Amino acid sequence: MAKAKTLADLGDTDLLQTLADRKEELFNLRFQSATGQLESHGRLRAVKHDIARIYTVTRERELGIRATPAPI
């Protein structure tokens, strides 16, 4: 589970890559759930929350509430 502060420290490309990874993981977890192979239902919820956090950080950047981190 990623913290909002950790996600806010990522650059835009890293944030989008993390979002894509979480969406793929969510797809796989839903597939496992549908076939009865899912062992940890809590992970499904955690991934959904991570996706929501990523969308929140992205929207905050669009509105200027949270600044994009400076490149290193």
Q: Taking a C-beta distance cutoff of 8 angstroms, is the pair 5, 47 a contact?
A: no
Domains in the chain with CATH codes: 4-63 (1.10.287.310)
The token duo for 42 is 């809590």
18/22 Cα distance (integer angstroms): 6
- In this predicted structure, what is the pLDDT of residue 54? 94
Confidence of residue 36 (pLDDT cuts 50, 70, 90): very high
Contact 66, 9 (CB under 8 A): no
pLDDT in tens, 4-23: 788 888 888 999 999 999 99
